[in-house]
Structure formats: C-alpha cells, structure tokens
Amino acid sequence: MNTKHAILLFSVMFLLIGCNQKKTGDNLDSLIERRIDSVMSKMSLEEKVGQMAQFTIDVIGKGGNLYRSDEPFEVDPAKLDTVIGKYKVGSILNTANNRARTIQVWETTIRTIQERAIQETGIPVLYGIDSNHGGSYTVGATLFPQAIGMAATFNLDLMKKGSQVSAYETRASNIPWTFNPTMDLGRDARWPRQWESYGEDAYLNAVMGNASVIGFQGDDINKIGDLNIAACVKHYMGYGVPVSGKDRTPAIIAENDLREKFFEPFRMTIVDGKAVSLMVNSGIINGVSTHADYRLLTVWLKEELNFDGVIVTDWADVQNLLSRDRIARDYKEAVKIAVNAGIDMVMEPYNLNFCPTLVELVNDGEVSKSRIDDAVRRVLRLKFRLGLFEKPYWSIDEYPDFGSEKHEAAAKAAADESITLLKNEDNILPLKQGVRILVTGPNANSMRTLNGGWSYSWQGEKVEEFAEQYNTILEAISNKFGEKNVRFAEGVSYNMAGQYFEENPPQIQQAVAAAAGVDYILLCVGENSYCETPGNLDELTLSENQTNLAKALVKTGKPVILVLNEGRPRLIREIEPDVKAVLQLYLPGNHGADALADILSGDVNPSGKLPYTYPKFEQSLLTYDHKPSQNIDGKMEGAYDYGAQTSVQYPFGFGLSYTTFEYSNLSVDNTDFVSGDILSVKVDVKNTGSVTGKEVVMLFSSDLVASITPDVRRLRKFLKIELQPGESKTVELKLPADDLAFVNEKGKWTLEEGEFKLQVGNLVSNVNCTKTKIWDTPNK
C-alpha cells in the first residue's frame, strides 16, 4: 500500500468511527489529532516539507514564466507535476496575472490542482487568497467597505455579517482560506495600509477583528463548514507604525505598548475568536526582523497562548531576511532562521528551491525533525478543520446566493453606516430635491477610487473593467437628484496609467465655469487606489492641484460640500474652514456612491464615527490615547516652557448626525472595586431631534494617577443604538475591572489602587480601585 492509499484509507476509517470524539487541549479535537497522526506516520520528509511550502498560482500556469501566465488562464500539467509531483507542495495562493477570475474559472483551476494533489499524496492543497473586503479576486463578488470603513460603522453585527458574506462567496470560488482580517493598529496617518486596518485603537481593532474572524470561520473551528472559510489574522505585529511612515520599514515600539496595545488584538482573536492561522509582519520591531523573532512567534503565541494554528510568512519574507534585512548569509540560512523561529508555512512564492533547501537543513541537523513535525501537524490540522480531506473541491451550484441581492444589500447597509459627517455648517445637509449641483473633483466619476486596492487586482487599477454595473458618485447623484439638475466637470483628474499620486494637467477653470447657475458644489477629492509599498508618500497634505481646485471653487461663492474619498486622512486645513460640509467616505466599496447620495438627500441619516484621529499638521500626528505631556493646556511657570500643544482636525470617535442626542443619568453600580469585579455602567440616551438616528455610545476611561505615565483616555466599550425622534433608551455597558489594567515597565499587567474617571458622552463618573493586583502570567 503506498502513502496516498494509506492516507485515504485511514481518513475514511477515522471518519466512520469518530463522529463524536472528546476534545483534547483548549481547541483540539481528538479525532482530528489521531487522523493527523495516521497521515504523518506515512509521510516522507520530502512530503512533510512540501506541506510547509506555498507558491503563487502563476508558477503552475501555462505559458509565460514564473511571474505571468498566458490568457485565458489554464493550469500547465507539466508545471503541476513539478510543484505537486516532485515537491509535494501543500499550498497555493493568489490569482493569476493579478486579475479577478470568474467562479467557473476558479472551480476548474482548483479542481485540477486538488485532483493532482490527491493522486500524488492523498493530501489536499490548501488554497489561500486575499478577501479583503469581499471576494476581492472573484468577478461578480460582493464588495463591502474596506476595513477602515467597517471600523467607522462601530457596528459589530455589520462586521460579522460582512465577513460571513465574504466567506460564502470566497468558498463559492472553491477557496477555503483568506488572509484576513488585518489587525494592524493604524496609528500613523502616513502608512499606506491605514485603510486595511480598523483604525488606531487597540480595543476597536480587537472587537472588530474578533467579529470578522467569527464571521469567516463560524462557531466551531474543528468543523469549519461549507459556508465558512479559515481566517488568517495579520500582520503579527506592529506593522502599522513604521518610524518612517513607509511600508515594510522598521518600527520602534515600547515593550509595554507592544504587549498592551499591539499584541492584545491578536490575543483576543486567537483566544476568543479562535483564529486558525496568523500571518507575520513583514517588517522589523526594535531591530529584530519579525520573521526571525522566536520570542514573538514561539514564546508569545505558541507557548503563552497555546496557539494551535498555522503561522505563515508574508510574501517572500524569508528571502527578505537575506536580501533586505541582511541577517542571513545565504538563502539556506534564511530558511533555517525563519523555520526555527516558529514559521510553519513559507509563502515563498516563486523559489522552488525552498523544498530541497529545508530537506537539506533537516538532514544536516540544523532544523529538527520535531520542528518539522510541529509545523506539518498544524498545516494538516487546518486542512482537516476545513473538511478538505472529505471534500477538496465543490460545485458552484452549491452557492446560489453568490453575488445575490441580499448580499449586495448587506454591503450597502455597511456603506450607509460607515460614511462619517465631519462638518455640517448651518445644517446645509441634507439637500432638498430640485437643487442644482455641480459634481467635480478627481474622485467624482470613478469606481476605482471608491474601492481602493485589493479590488479585482492588487492595486485596484482594474476596477472599472469589473464594476461598471455600479454607480460612481456622479451617477448616483444624477439618479438621486435628476440628471437635468446635475453638472459635471472634473477640474482635476488622475493619470490612471501612472502611479497613484500622478495627476493630469488640471482644468480648474472648466470647473469654475460649470459652477455658474448651480446651487451647490459637490467637490470629491482624496486619493487614487494603491496598496502596500506603491502607496508610500512623502507629503500627507492633499495634492496641490486638488487644494487649488477647492480654493477656486470656494471663491465662486457657491456653498462647497467636501467629499473625502481616501485610504488615509490627507491634510485639508487650508480648505476645511471655507467649505460648508465635510463627509468622509473612506473606501466604501461598490455601493459607496449610492450610500453617499442617500445621505446627501436625507434618505439615510449618517452615523459613522472616525476610527482614527484626523490630523491637522504633518508634524503633529497624534492618537487619542496619547500621553499627557503630548498635549498640555497652559504653560509651566518659570524661565522655561516645556509644554506641548497639538492641534487635530477632528478627534477619534467624532461624527455628526442629522439629529441630536442627549445623555443623562450616568451611573456606575460599583464605584469601589477590585480585580475580578464587573462594573455596570448605565446611561440614558435620548434622540432630541426630529429624525430617526443611530448613535454610538462610547465608554472611555482615564487612569488619573499611575506608576508609569498613563494614556489620557482609552476606549473600553461601545454600543450602537437606533432611536426614533423623542425616544430614550437606557444603555448598559459592562466593564470588567481588569480591563483598566495596564502593562508596567517590567512587562507585567497591573491594576493599581487609585482613582479612574469614566466618561460617556459629556458625562463623567469617578470610580476607585481599592487594591492593587499585578499578574504573574504574561496575559491577564
């Protein structure tokens, strides 16, 4: 009996006798573990190493070369024989030629791969893709707002629903694994992946990421069903705060912040959400390449959290240890460093020499067989959890709701709640029917800018080809207010064939002339699409052309409504005072323009809140949870003034509504507390306006005195509610006392005796911890 037939026989045996097995460890299923034992007992070293390898699909495509395939795409049997037959590779990723594919092409492609893998080894291939805001690489898939927009909803139910729809439509594409959600804290406005994050706050990232993981995976990680997929939380960790602001460059993070803010969202998604895989930060933290960091990968994750999932590299990051970070003499040493640090699967993605290199390292005794077995066990565990041994591929006919109206309606609802009203001078919004509107600006007539990167291609440059059935802002406004009432003149346009920041020669006077005879100017500005390193910038201020366009339109005397469609907050201080209204769209997806039109007309009441601090000056980048010394009112007495003051455009959590809300009767049931207590915080919220509205009730805390300087405030809980005009609700937020702990200078979680201020809306209540607790374990 060969290895393949032995694996298939034992898989069927265990499936028949073990339907209701007890679990071992925190999350492990005893049946799955015995099936893994059986499979691994029949595997050669070469087969085990193959399970740790992941290559991009162009490596097996017909024609072209390693980096590009012929169109229409087809798998090359000879190349597949090399990848699967010779090297026994266990995982493939990505889409061919950086282009979205139909579900029919996906089904044919993955069926071909799986049939060859089963024939060769009896072990199915694990296929992975980036489903960043829906089925990003599948034609006809539903696209939601990007993560930063989902964060702005402050709605965990919408976040979970979005990931459920994404899981369904990714699974419909025969792909069971997504490299999402992105858990990086977006604490630097310059960073080009800001829009892939849930903003600057650790708690918001944690709960949004947790909701996403559960939406992707479902409730039982050992039986991730046909409607769900495996999540991969990324990029572990500290990726979003490079000193330079540029992608994949080093970060310097205080040890206590590393544990308290950057690790905590990952901890929650692993411990509570049960994420089954994790991708590593491409950069460097405190001088150590994260892909080489045994402490962060093995000690913090596998030992402290008992993480039993797969740790996968990011794209080509083992090679980067050699060619970029220069911590390895050659490729062999780079592989050794990464695998011994705790990497389980290497996203190579082109170099097939990875497999013989790792085999050689094992045979030379430089990587232990136990380390290989641990990694392979994790990879096989994920494949069993996904049911791939029983069902390695499936029919698109099993997914009739792919791209359905109800899925599209969920994306539209998310876009509705993400858009954030930042200014509404003289209540200029909503607009009445019959008004005449000039729609202008480089983002006014583009689906590409509404979606951003990771949309049908990596940089989003192919969006117009695939999203023509949806409305641009111009089209949505014309539909809502009538074509005869809408004029269009771009004034400034992007060079769609160039880099994201390139613009064509401006035609500002055309836009100024078009403003004659209109009642309002809808100025749509921001950024063209980009992703990762190509999105790096040198200047955060809105482009000169767009700024000049705004100034010229303001001079017409017509009220200007500024629409921001951007992946990160571009500075607008030169034009913001002179416009009448400001709306932040972020990257709202295919339904973003319709959502904007509904908000402008008053059919939808805006309820989004900023998930980051909107900066005013590039040299005054600040997060809301800064230290007291970063923003001091008044001056020191004496000869020297060491005070600092920082001005921001809009604060974290800010967002206006067409109605007003009144907070009253704040109460806390346990004003004197100790570790382990639960504080019940209640507040009455009333809609005092004339229209129905949604309000995000946020609970902040401030540690008034601490042994190390505390953050000025921290978000601890929130709940989004809907109120009819005149309606009141009592909102209860349960706050575990241990959530008020911080990590001290020795790396220990600490809840100190003393006073804390709790704030909800404009109301404040002080509470008192009566006894200090310092945790002996690394995590609370």
DSSP state of 21: P
Q: Is 307 helix (H, G, I), strand (E, B) or coil?
A: coil
Residue with tokens 């099993």: 398
Q: How far apart are CA 581 and CA 562, in angstroms?
A: 6
| Residue indicated by tokens 């962060």 | 296
Residues 599 and 563: beta-carbon distance below 8 Å: no
Catalytic residue among 130, 201, 308, 314: 314
Distance CA 4, CA 447 (A): 48
Residue owning tokens 């005092």? 688
Beta bridge partners, 578, equal none
For tokens 């090399």, the residue is 82
Q: Which of these, 620, 627, 774, lies nearest to 710 by C-alpha position?
A: 627
Q: Please return the burial class of 104, using the count of CB atoms within 10 Å of its CB with bins 0-12, 13-18 and 19+.
A: exposed
For the question of residue 219 being annotated catalytic, the response is: no
Question: Across the strands, what pairs with 605?
Answer: none
Exposed / middle / buried, residue 483 (Cβ in 10 Å: 0-12, 13-18, 19+): exposed
127 with 133: CB under 8 angstroms?
no
Residue 404 class from Cβ within 10 Å (0-12 exposed, 13-18 middle, 19+ buried)? middle
What is the C-alpha separation between 133 and 143, in angstroms, rounded? 6
Helices (H), 524-591: 544-554
- Nearest CA to 269 out of 260, 278, 261, 282 is that of 278
Q: Which of 761, 758, 694, 659 is nearest to 157 (CA)?
A: 694
The span from the CA of 140 to the CA of 137, in Å, is 9
Q: For residue 67, give every residue at least 6 positions away whose Cβ sits within 8 Å of its Cβ, in sequence order, or none.
A: 58, 350
CA pair distance 283, 192, nearest whole angstrom = 14
Beta bridge partners of 686: 662, 728
> Which helix (H) or strand (E) is 93 found in, with range?
strand 91-93
Contact 216, 168 (CB under 8 A): no
Using CA atoms, how far apart are residues 136 and 99, in angstroms rounded to an integer?
Answer: 10
Give which of 90, 79, 81 is closest to 53, Cα–Cα: 90
Find the helix or strand (DSSP H, E) in which 156 lies: helix 156-172
The dihedral formed by the CA atoms of 236, 611, 144 and 526, expressed in degrees to the nearest 10: -110
User: For residue 760, how many C-alpha atoms fall within 13 Å in the half-sphere facing its CB?
Assistant: 31
Distances (CA, A) of 215 to 137, 153, 164, 499: 19, 16, 5, 35
C-beta of residue 538 within 8 angstroms of C-beta of residue 616: no
Structure token pair of residue 453: 């990167």
Positions annotated as catalytic residues are 314
